[in-house]
Structure 1
């Protein structure tokens, strides 16, 4: 048996603090070291010191997924501690070259968002706003990559469950000895993680179908025996499976709500118009998350054969299938 400890690290993002977990075995393992900011570094250093450790004691740095509030400070920590960095193989290109990945996404999504009915000036705003956030991450090359079903023995045994959807390369770590799963942002106690659109691993010309992928990953995690979840934000999940069921139900309810907003005859509607109707007060900083939400639920309806699409002047509109 081991003990699970949490250090809450501040982030410059609206989501608030990120949870950094410690597995203090013979090899001190850190899960998600937070963003690359002075405040997060100091909080991690202080948290380790309060628990009788120093940065140099860290032997392993595990990354749940390649979002900067979780991995941004991994390289600095690994360099200072001479620690190994471990992540899923699909996360590597985003960890090694996060700025290049962001630029590829900007290029791809410019055309895609225009096809969803978004005006040019709005597209430019949505795709340039995140540029200021790139300072909160440093490129890092994992020393070891893991795959679905792989077992890690780091002085404590962790089983890896590949859970793409919220992010490419998302992985949950099962700690069977503690009846626990470290879920990253795949399952959270108070919010439903947005399956944000991105490009496919190894591709810069095709997007993910993030929400259908996310729901499939939730169904997969439902089958694990462990019942306690430790998410990347918020408090412990006392019933992991119950929260998974709630999250799945939320998305299907929203899918039906959005279906009710779609006309059953031409000229139809665009994803951008649906976003403005569903989220009329959405700030520009949340625009890409908002359009990802709409496109994801349209993907679900599309998979069920409930939509017909037509394109005019490069803009796609949908109607309910007859």
Structure 2
């Protein structure tokens, strides 16, 4: 089930390892690649919609000088400046999407809009980098990460680059409509990657601004990051089903390239997680009482576990916890509280 690539220049740039061009996607709609320094994702695709009084942006890009330069040059290439931005619609609170919203607001007075649940996540960030690293380290030790690795992974996250992000002026809720020129963008709440991740649907031209929820080549990280509550993977899979019910001609993602074939891509992503759940269930039978850390190290990743940095192992642990949580919610696995927490098949309880 393959997709049809519509952003051909973006796709070619991805193959060549370079930044794609600024593109006119449709009348009054532009795609601007904004680099993410030192990151394998390379760039965020910021979308600019021309409105009667200026521009509406979907996402903003990473807060770095080279990113700001790329964004402002991109806007200037079709006749606008940073001061012309009126609204920034943020798909989710991660730094590569929210980061430059603060600079844009300073330059133009633009309002920054984000789902209320992601705004709450920002407000829950601990009061200092040291406290934040401590929270992360504690969670890692709780799930079996050795002390030295827990410390190095928490320290390697460069938390200061994410600290004190811009807070939103407007809280989005599911179904809200934002007008940009002759377009109406409907907020579609799609939790999973973050609690408040939001896509934006333009029904007239059947366009979906999908953020990180649906990407053409990779699946977004679905993870239990700082606490053990919630079931982000169930939320993500339900959100995929919800998007699949929309009439969409083209998907405009935040990374990689534009494409057609939302239903095909949704099916592939859902199957990926179904297979990972089966793999993890099988491992629980082979290694009863294993920690999430042990299980993460035995799963089949796209690269050998031995090649993972401490930070990437932290992310792999968080993804493993999300899958374990869904197995637990289904009654297929259970956790045994302890120091550290261990996991078992429910049938072995």
TM-score normalized by the length of structure 2? 0.83
**2:49 and 2:180 in contact (8 A); partners too:** no
Partner of 1:257: 279
Q: Matched residue pairs, number?
A: 314
Q: Look up the match of 2:269.
A: 247
CA change 1:80–1:308 in 2 (3 A) is closer
CA distance in 2, matches of 1:137, 1:319: 37
Question: Hey, what's the Cα distance between the residues in 1 that align with 2:285 and 2:28?
Answer: 54
Contact (CA 8 Å) 2:205, 2:249: kept in 1 or not? no
Partner of 2:91: helix, strand, or coil? Answer: coil
Call closer, same or farther: CA 1:99–1:310 in 2, change over 3 Å: closer
Q: Secondary structure at the match of 1:33?
A: coil
Instruction: Say if 2:133 and 2:159, in contact at 8 Å, map to a contact too.
Output: no
Indicate whether 1:42 and 2:77 are aligned: no
Corresponding residue to 1:229 among 251, 272, 285: 251
Following superposition, the deviation at residue 96 of structure 1 comes to 5.8
What is the aligned partner in structure 1 of residue 342 from structure 2? Answer: 317
Q: Residue 8 in 1 paired to residue 37 in 2?
A: no
Q: 2:192 aligns with which of 155, 160, 165?
A: 165
Cα distance between partner residues in 2 of 1:101 and 1:31: 29
Specify whether residues 307 and 88 from structure 1 end up closer, same or farther in structure 2 by C-alpha distance, changes over 3 A only.
same
Query: In 2, Cα distance between the equivalents of 1:180 and 1:101?
Result: 40
- C-alpha separation in 2, matches of 1:246 and 1:265: 29
Question: Following the alignment from structure 1 to structure 2, what is the Cα–Cα distance between the partners of residues 184 and 103?
Answer: 30
Which residue of 124, 144, 155 maps to 2:170? 144
Q: Which residue of 1 aligns with 2:105?
A: 78
Q: Distance in 2 between matches of 1:233 and 1:265?
A: 37
Residues 274-322 of structure 1 show CA distances to partners (whole Å, capped at 9, x for unaligned) of: 111225222212122100121111122222222243345x222222233
1:116 aligns with 2:137: no
Separation in 1, partners of 2:173, 2:102: 21
> What CA deviation, in whole Å up to 9, does each residue of 1:143-191 have, x standing for no partner?
2111011122233211111111101221111111221111111111110
Please state how far the C-alpha of 1:206 moved relative to its aligned partner. 5.4
Residue of structure 2 equivalent to 1:190: 217
Alpha carbons 2:140, 2:314 under 8 Å: kept: no
Note the residue ranges of structure 2 that are not aligned, 5 or more in a row.
1-25
Displacement after TM superposition at 1:270 (Å): 1.3
Q: Which residue of structure 2 aligns with residue 289 of structure 1?
A: 315
Residues 208-238 of structure 1: per-residue CA shift (max 9 Å, x gap)? 4222222122222222222421111011121
Partner of residue 176 from structure 1, selected from 184, 200, 203: 203
Match of 1:202 in 2: none
SS state of the match for residue 7, structure 1? strand
Paired with 2:162 and 2:172, the residues of 1 have a C-alpha distance of 25
State how far apart, in whole Å, the 1-side matches of 2:49 and 2:163 are: 24
Q: Does 1:271 align with 2:297?
A: no
From the superposition, tell whether residues 120 and 4 of structure 1 become closer, same or farther in structure 2 (CA, over 3 Å): same
In the alignment, which of 154, 162, 167 is matched to residue 127 of structure 1?
154
Length-normalised TM-score, structure 1 = 0.89
Task: Give the direction of change, closer, same or farther, for the CA distance of 1:302–1:55 in structure 2 (3 Å limit).
Answer: same
Verify: 1:56 aligned to 2:83, yes or no: yes
Aligned partners of 2:49, 2:337: CA distance in 1, in Å? Answer: 53
CA distance in structure 1 between the aligned counterparts of 2:213 and 2:160, rounded to whole angstroms: 22
Post-superposition shift, 1:95?
4.5
Any gaps of 5 or more consecutive residues in structure 1? 200-204
Aligned equivalents of 1:233 and 1:224: distance in 2?
Answer: 21
